[in-house]
């Protein structure tokens, strides 16, 4: 499912291909929390775009999430205003007011309907925002909008991320060339205080709302909901997908299933690649590990099992220590709630089998597995031999660097 992208490949590409017809972007240093760093970004479509979103399932939802959900009922948007430094979460009625206010500022400057502006925030929870930095920055931000502004935008979203995350694909739609461009931020996944997961995907494809909504909902389920850094979810997690139709293709709609399938596939690639980038840039991560549980009776149980293993601090610390400690994997599996027979389980690290019928295969297998663990990326296969369902979760290791980042960053 996940493109096993090398860490090296996560490096940003040259911005020149990072364009989508009808879309522009910009970022500025507004001084929201820190000076001298891009912290306010804007995405703008030259026409209203069909827009679908997926938001955090956390019961505590930040003001921008509440506002966006309400505005997206119409399935349309034309701009996204995004800031880092402050999450505008747990800020009460004032926070809601502030989210509306900043959207209004952008709408006025862009001369569009306020209702067409979506907002997204990431940063510290529970601190009131200041109006002045937004007001001062807005004219310059709108003035800086450019077809090549997406890398700056991706940088303005970063918190503990170490690099901007952008993915671009072109796609043939009934003889017309379209584009999909995605930008994301993550880091601690999905960490509530400074490292919310935000993802914006822009396409010039022409697509009807119900089809886009379905593609986005299912795509998020198979990508962003299959990754974990620390098991925490955020008050601000947001995925927004805008389709402005500037490519001029035939409408992607139900009676055009072939083109819809191609579009869906490409969109899923963009989601998966961004999700992979987020884990690879997990706080302190040195290893990118896919946990694949196979041979389960139920698909949901397989996913639960993979997720329990992927979130176990003991398993993740063993990945960091390059210790092929399969006992920890068995124990995490055993408490996951997934049904299985312990004496049927086999465990492999890539193509090195370490456990068969619930029993370890000895020191040589462990030595070979330890060799696999020296790679930056590998897969742990857990075969339950009890059914045909499988589930896959992408995770990273837990290093001393994670502790350093999260114990210290607010001070």
Catalytic residues: 196
Q: Quick one: which of 233, 249, 256, 348 contacts its own copies (CB under 8 A)?
A: 233
Name the residue nearer to its own copies (CB basis): 87 or 243.
87
Q: Quick one: which of 24, 160, 235, 346 contacts its own copies (CB under 8 A)?
A: 235
The side-by-side arrangement of strands in the sheet containing 346-349 is 227-228, 389-396, 288-296, 377-383, 346-349, 352-356, 359-360
DSSP output for 251-264: PB-TT-HHHHHHHH
Q: Quick one: which of 96, 101, 144, 314 contacts its own copies (CB under 8 A)?
A: 314
Q: Quick one: which of 13, 47, 74, 335 contacts its own copies (CB under 8 A)?
A: 335
SS3 399: coil
Give the other-Cβ count within 10 Å of 408's Cβ: 8
Q: Quick one: which of 214, 232, 253, 350 contacts its own copies (CB under 8 A)?
A: 232
Name the residue nearer to its own copies (CB basis): 350 or 401.
401
Site for its own copies in 68-97 (CB under 8 A): 87, 89-92
Q: Is 24 in the site for its own copies (CB under 8 A)?
A: no
The helix or strand, by DSSP H or E, that contains position 153, with its residue range, turns out to be helix 150-157
Which listed range, 33-41, 52-60, 160-168, 219-227, lies at the site for its own copies (CB under 8 A)? 52-60
Q: Is 387 in the site for its own copies (CB under 8 A)?
A: no
SS3 354: strand
List Cβ neighbours of 92 (8 Å cut-off, separation of 6 or more).
Answer: none
Query: Nearest to residue 181, comparing CAs of 22, 29, 55?
Result: 22
Q: Is 340 in the site for its own copies (CB under 8 A)?
A: yes
Q: Is 98 in the site for its own copies (CB under 8 A)?
A: no
Give the other-Cβ count within 10 Å of 86's Cβ: 25
Q: Quick one: which of 25, 333, 380, 396 contacts its own copies (CB under 8 A)?
A: 333
DSSP output for 268-293: HHHHHHHHHHHHHTSTT---EEEEEE
In the bound complex, what is the minimum distance in angstroms from residue 126's beta carbon to its own copies? 4
Which listed range, 18-26, 105-113, 263-271, 396-404, lies at the site for its own copies (CB under 8 A)? 396-404
d(CA 138, CA 103): 10
First to last CA, the chain: 39
Name the residue nearer to its own copies (CB basis): 134 or 402.
402
Q: Are 204 and 244 in contact (CB under 8 A)?
A: yes
**What tokens appear for 367 in the block?**
């030595």
Q: Is 67 in the site for its own copies (CB under 8 A)?
A: no
Name the residue nearer to its own copies (CB basis): 8 or 407.
407
Name the residue nearer to its own copies (CB basis): 143 or 327.
327
Name the residue nearer to its own copies (CB basis): 223 or 308.
308
In the bound complex, what is the minimum distance in angstroms from residue 65's beta carbon to its own copies? 11
Which listed range, 2-10, 19-27, 123-131, 271-279, lies at the site for its own copies (CB under 8 A)? 123-131
List Cβ neighbours of 131 (8 Å cut-off, separation of 6 or more).
Answer: 98, 101
Q: Quick one: which of 11, 14, 57, 73 contacts its own copies (CB under 8 A)?
A: 57
DSSP output for 212-238: HHHHHHHHHHHTGGGEESSS---SS-E
Chain contacts with its own copies (rule: CB under 8 A): 57-61, 87, 89-92, 124-127, 188, 191-193, 230-235, 312-314, 317-318, 320-321, 323, 325-328, 330-335, 339-340, 342-343, 355, 357-360, 398-400, 402-404, 406-408, 410-411
């Amino acid at each position: 499912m996940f493109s096993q992208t090398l860490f090296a490949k996560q490096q940003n590409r040259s911005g020149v291909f990072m364009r989508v017809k009808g879309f522009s972007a910009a970022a500025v240093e507004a001084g929201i929390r820190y000076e001298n760093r891009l912290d306010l970004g804007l995405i703008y479509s030259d026409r209203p775009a069909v827009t679908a979103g997926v938001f955090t399932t956390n019961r505590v939802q930040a003001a921008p999430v509440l506002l966006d959900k309400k505005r997206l009922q119409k399935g349309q948007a034309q701009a996204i205003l995004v800031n880092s430094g402050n999450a505008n979460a747990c800020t009460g009625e004032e926070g809601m007011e502030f989210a509306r206010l900043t959207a209004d500022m952008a709408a006025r400057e862009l001369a569009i309907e306020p209702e067409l502006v979506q907002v997204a925030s990431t940063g510290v929870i529970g601190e009131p925002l200041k109006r002045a930095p937004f007001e001062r920055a807005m004219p310059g931000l709108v003035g800086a909008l450019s077809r090549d502004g997406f890398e700056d935008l991706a940088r303005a979203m970063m918190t503990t991320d170490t690099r901007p995350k952008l993915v671009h694909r072109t796609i043939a739609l009934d003889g017309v060339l379209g584009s999909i461009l995605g930008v994301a931020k993550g880091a601690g996944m999905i960490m509530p205080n400074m490292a919310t997961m935000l993802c914006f995907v822009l396409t010039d494809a022409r697509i009807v709302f119900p089809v886009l909504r379905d593609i986005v909902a299912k795509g998020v389920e198979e990508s962003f909901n299959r990754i974990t850094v620390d098991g925490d979810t955020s008050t601000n997690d947001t995925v927004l997908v805008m389709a402005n139709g500037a490519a001029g293709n035939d409408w992607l709609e139900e009676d055009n299933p072939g083109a819809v399938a191609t579009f869906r596939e490409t969109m899923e690639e963009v989601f998966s690649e961004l999700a992979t980038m987020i884990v690879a840039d997990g706080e302190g991560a040195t290893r990118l590990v896919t946990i694949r549980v196979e041979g389960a009776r139920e698909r949901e149980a397989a996913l639960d099992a993979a997720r329990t293993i992927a979130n176990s601090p003991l398993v993740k610390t063993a990945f960091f220590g390059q210790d092929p400690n399969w006992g920890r994997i068995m124990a995490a599996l055993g408490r996951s709630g997934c049904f299985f027979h312990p004496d049927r389980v086999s465990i492999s690290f890539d193509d090195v089998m370490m456990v068969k019928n619930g029993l370890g295969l000895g020191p040589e297998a462990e030595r070979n597995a330890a060799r696999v663990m020296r790679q930056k990326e590998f897969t742990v296969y857990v075969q339950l031999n009890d059914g045909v369902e499988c589930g896959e979760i992408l995770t990273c290791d837990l290093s001393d660097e994670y502790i350093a980042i999260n114990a210290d960053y607010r001070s």
